[in-house]
Structure 1
């Protein structure tokens, strides 16, 4: 079993998770995330979580293929559990029905793992363990109790699951959930919040509270996320917002992983500009908007990509070289860590709103109406909205229930 886990290239995830997340610190950054640019809009320019950050923090492979899964219905979720987790038909049906969709509970997977390990059924035990591992880390659902059944398809062939770009998978999933969480109506962040919080700790040493397990100079090749431990923060989001507004480029460690290169050499594919995908999720990856994190002078970037129109993502990923040339060809190595070209900040303040606290605190403004409470402008849509709400009330639906998440989002 240990051999399969090691060959999957996911073993590092066994040790990287923080035991608790500073939700206020994370939320203060989430509200600065912009979906179209895949970046945080800070007062001095854009920053983002890059492929290189994932490689250094989690020690996941960056190179590899993207995954395009088949649709998994509840019936197929039952079949997969029988075939690849070694449970009975009745047990699988009962469990999937209790999840109200094509999901498995993490607690259930743990019980399966323990059972098969005791019986020395190593293939079943390993699949349950790996699915539980990714379901509680890089593919964590918003409830943090479920994992999508389709991810079991990744581990059908335990000898062949190491060819994926797990680093890109982690990043795509987190980007997707950051996009959701940046909306006013969303109350929870999915994906791997440990990745985001450890990224904050590395780049912003003066923001938030953190514990340090070891000094980077004394690292023995461990994932950099293991450097950090949770410490209870005392600041709320309202307190952190003006602190982030007042940050300057000198408050940032622009290249925090240069002392980690003995264990993770920089890979030029991290400068690929294009779309990343995992499953049906496609997100823009735009390193030309955060060049200072790569040691280059920041210029005015190209307009964001429309990934909805992308058709050859796998080909673009494989032939990334030209993209890298285009990204760095218009720049030069920075002479100071935070160097930008003339006119960059003027452009940036024209197209963004990087300061969130108004300069003058007048009378409090009216709280914006959440999207799902806004009244439709068309009578027909109003009727549809009323009928959906009535149905959700009749079945006592909750917004956190994955079975009804699409209906709540539609409202």
Structure 2
């Protein structure tokens, strides 16, 4: 067998850890906003070989993986149970460009990175860390809210929805965090899933070399449902050959992708766990609050995050929710908006641009 880079891609990922510990005094504000559980996602060991093998099985038409056991995918259930993010509520959307970014930053963060540039649209993580890492001993409630917003923004762009600009976070999220009491009224969970779907679809193109979106969620989904992957990947003898091959540039990583590819092909037909979270040892530690709005897990509707619109086909993977799978309807296309980006669209208000899909989401339970 001849191993080539064309046959076995090893993708890179865009992830930016928080880089500093959470001050315990901020926890009540993060809980209030619905990000309390998501803040626990601070350390992770991503296996890009496994992720690369999964991408080969992704179908952009249905947003599902095609495995020997059948169709399956990451769902709103996975987002809700792993991160505790709200999945019901208004879509995550807004304008492409903030009219007065410095004013917005002073209003909601109490500081601005550069008053001389009136058109900046992103905040560097290094600036956020330098200005908000340490909370004063006698910090008031008003002084605590600002670093709480910063922490949420870092989680959003660094872990939950990272993209190519993984050292910066877009200001578009800041207006949504203005009132922490209102933050949980947005469907953050569906936005995280939309971003991941978007990146998986983009990465199916043969020239793609990196992958954004919530890769932590993607890897957890695979390891929970195909536990053989987890058990084997932690046994050193499996990768002795990989170390041996590594003397040839690039071959070691490609061989690891081959191992995961073979494991997925050979062990999913009978070893796939459709309802992995119902195992007693797992169900016992999941709080009941994570099941709020679980009726949405099976829905068939568009999921949205600013410019991104992807279709969520919960009806195609009913076995993951404990139901009998019927023959699903044809996948719902979103047309030209699939894969749309922000380049050259500075005046866009995405709620207006995607108003048809926003309306369908708002009537998802009708």
Aligned counterpart, 2:249: none
Aligned counterpart, 1:265: 291
For the residues of structure 2 that align with 1:94 and 1:186, how far apart are their CA atoms?
37
Q: Of 223, 227, 233, which aligns to 1:201?
A: 223
Aligned counterpart, 1:277: 304
Tell me if the contact between 1:95 and 1:104 (Cα under 8 Å) persists in the aligned partners. Answer: no
Q: Of 99, 111, 119, which aligns to 2:130?
A: 111
Shift of 1:257: 1.2
Local SS of the residue matching 1:69: coil
Deviations 1:98-157 (A, max 9, x none): xxx622222221222125646732232222222112222212223532212211122122
Shift of 1:164: 0.9
Tell me if the contact between 1:24 and 1:235 (Cα under 8 Å) persists in the aligned partners. Answer: no
Q: Does 1:256 align with 2:276?
A: yes
Aligned counterpart, 1:316: 360
For the residues of structure 2 that align with 1:96 and 1:250, how far apart are their CA atoms?
58
Tell which structure's C-alpha radius of gyration is larger.
1
Deviations 1:275-304 (A, max 9, x none): 111212110100222122122233332111
Shift of 1:202: 0.6
Deviations 1:355-393 (A, max 9, x none): xxxxxxxxxxxxxxxxxxxxxxxxxxxxxxxxxxxxxxx
Summarize the Cα distance change of 1:183–1:76 in structure 2 as closer, same or farther, 3 Å threshold: farther
Deviations 1:227-277 (A, max 9, x none): xxxxxx996112222332223431101101124266333712111112111
For the residues of structure 1 that align with 2:133 and 2:68, how far apart are their CA atoms?
50
Q: Which runs of 5+ in 2 are unaligned?
A: 1-25, 235-252, 337-353
Q: Which runs of 5+ in 1 are unaligned?
A: 212-232, 323-411
For the residues of structure 2 that align with 1:159 and 1:113, how far apart are their CA atoms?
21
Shift of 1:45: 1.8
For the residues of structure 2 that align with 1:5 and 1:312, how far apart are their CA atoms?
32
Deviations 1:209-228 (A, max 9, x none): 567xxxxxxxxxxxxxxxxx
For the residues of structure 2 that align with 1:85 and 1:119, how far apart are their CA atoms?
18
Aligned counterpart, 1:127: 149
Aligned counterpart, 1:224: none
Local SS of the residue matching 1:150: helix
Q: Does 1:10 align with 2:28?
A: no
Q: Does 1:289 align with 2:316?
A: yes
Local SS of the residue matching 2:160: coil
For the residues of structure 1 that align with 2:40 and 2:81, how far apart are their CA atoms?
14
Q: Of 41, 44, 49, which aligns to 1:19?
A: 44
Tell me if the contact between 1:77 and 1:150 (Cα under 8 Å) persists in the aligned partners. Answer: no
Give the alignment of 1:212-227 within 5 angstroms. none
Tell me if the contact between 2:226 and 2:268 (Cα under 8 Å) persists in the aligned partners. Answer: no
Q: Of 53, 61, 65, which aligns to 2:90?
A: 65
Aligned counterpart, 1:83: 107
Give the alignment of 1:6-405 within 5 angstroms. 6-72=31-97, 76-88=100-112, 91-93=113-115, 102-114=121-133, 117=136, 120=139, 121-208=143-230, 209=232, 236-258=256-278, 259=280, 260=283, 263=288, 264-265=290-291, 267-308=294-335, 311-321=355-365
For the residues of structure 1 that align with 2:271 and 2:42, how far apart are their CA atoms?
26
When the two chains are superposed, the root-mean-square deviation of aligned CA atoms in Å is 2.7
Local SS of the residue matching 1:284: strand
Tell me if the contact between 2:102 and 2:115 (Cα under 8 Å) persists in the aligned partners. Answer: yes
Tell me if the contact between 1:139 and 1:147 (Cα under 8 Å) persists in the aligned partners. Answer: no
Tell me if the contact between 2:69 and 2:270 (Cα under 8 Å) persists in the aligned partners. Answer: no
Aligned counterpart, 1:215: none
For the residues of structure 1 that align with 2:216 and 2:108, how far apart are their CA atoms?
29
For the residues of structure 2 that align with 1:110 and 1:250, how far apart are their CA atoms?
47
